[in-house]
Amino acid sequence: MLTIAIQNKGRLNEDTVALMADAGITASASHRKLISEASGFPLHVLYLRDDDIPQAVAMGVADIGIVGLNEVLEKEQDVDVRMKLGFGACRLSLAVPKSAEYTDIRWFEGKRVATSYPVILRNYFSENGIHAFVHEIAGSVEVAPAVGMADAIFDIVSSGGTLIQNGLVEEETVIRSEAVLIAHPHLDAEKEEEIGKLMFRFRSIIESKGMKYVLMNLPKQRIDEAVALLPGMKSPTVMPLADKEWVSLHVVLHENDLWDKIEQLKNIGAADILVLALENVIR
């Protein structure tokens, strides 16, 4: 049976448990458990701190894991990144005090930079030929410049609110991260097959996020124009109506361009447009 390592509490826990639930897998959300058996899929769930997940997967204590890409890059453990999961988005950025006269990355030459991600930062500076002092601190990185512990910081940013509160300006984005599914690099065929099934479920859920099922009535002679407008999965479904001059057109659209497409369809005569939530797209 596969073992998956997930964060026991913290920012990724809830979305991880929710993704598994959407995939029909019930894992206990208990923070106190170390390991439990899921229902809905043959799976053991190991609850760990996110820092320990890459190592647990590299060692084979867990076969797979869900963790931020930032932790995977920082820990440099031997694991395969199998897929992005569409949540936990953030970036790792260099930020400097507002008062600093920042020019470009050369500003960091000889400076002290506080971070909880020393490996990623050292790699970035060495790739760019910068010699700076990397100070590893465990938490509250954003206060380091104000208390005189550092000249700048390298930290996780999502909205940027914490930086502003601490009088810091984000100057360089080093990596963009989101939650990823990682796997032990050498698994037997049986486990790989199970992982394939799990990834199939996850992919269906991720792909159907933001998709809408749209139905409308359309004058029959405008079908070709409508097909040209719509990307569709294959092509839109066209069904006859009692009124021979009209058809019913069904299509799946992404919410990003839903309203643009609806306007274009109205312009060629579409009427009675229904937009429905879509639960899952299974290909």
The alpha carbon torsion through 78, 80, 85, 86 (nearest 10 deg) reads 80
Q: For residues 26 and 234, what is the distance between their CA atoms, to the nearest angstrom?
A: 33
- Asked if 49 is part of the footprint of ligand ATP (rule: CB under 6 A), the reply reads yes
70 binds, among ligand ATP, Mg ion, none (CB under 5 to 8 A by kind): ligand ATP
**Shortest distance, position 14 Cβ to ligand ATP, whole Å:** 10
Binding site for Mg ion (CB under 5 A): 50-51
| Binding-site member from 25, 66, 72, 88 for ligand ATP (CB under 6 A) | 88
- Asked if 82 is part of the footprint of ligand ATP (rule: CB under 6 A), the reply reads no
Cβ 168 vs Cβ 153: under 8 Å = yes
Question: Position 58: which residue type?
Answer: A
- Asked if 54 is part of the footprint of ligand ATP (rule: CB under 6 A), the reply reads no
Tokens of 186: 């050498």
Tell me the CA end-to-end span of the chain in Å, nearest whole number. Answer: 26
**Shortest distance, position 52 Cβ to Mg ion, whole Å:** 8
Tokens of 104: 């470009």
- Asked if 33 is part of the footprint of ligand ATP (rule: CB under 6 A), the reply reads no
Q: Specify the residue, 61 or 105, whose C-beta has the smaller distance to ligand ATP.
A: 61
Contact residues for 180 (Cβ-Cβ < 8 A; gap 6+): 66, 67, 68, 69, 72, 81, 82, 83, 84, 85
Binding mask 200-229 for ligand ATP (x = CB under 6 A): ------------------------------
Number of chain residues interacting with ligand ATP (CB under 6 A): 15
Nearest to 227 by CA among 245, 251, 208, 258: 251
208 binds, among Mg ion, ligand ATP, none (CB under 5 to 8 A by kind): none
| Binding-site member from 3, 16, 55, 70 for ligand ATP (CB under 6 A) | 70
Question: Position 258: which residue type?
Answer: L
> Binding segment for ligand ATP among 15-23, 64-72, 168-176, 272-280 (CB under 6 A)?
64-72
12 binds, among ligand ATP, Mg ion, none (CB under 5 to 8 A by kind): ligand ATP
Q: Specify the residue, 3 or 7, whose C-beta has the smaller distance to ligand ATP.
A: 7
Q: Specify the residue, 50 or 194, whose C-beta has the smaller distance to ligand ATP.
A: 50
**Shortest distance, position 24 Cβ to ligand ATP, whole Å:** 25
> Binding segment for ligand ATP among 68-76, 105-113, 205-213, 227-235 (CB under 6 A)?
68-76
β-bridge mates for residue 172, sequence order: 94
Which residues are at the interface with ligand ATP (CB under 6 A)? 7, 10-12, 49-51, 68, 70-71, 88, 90, 156, 158, 177
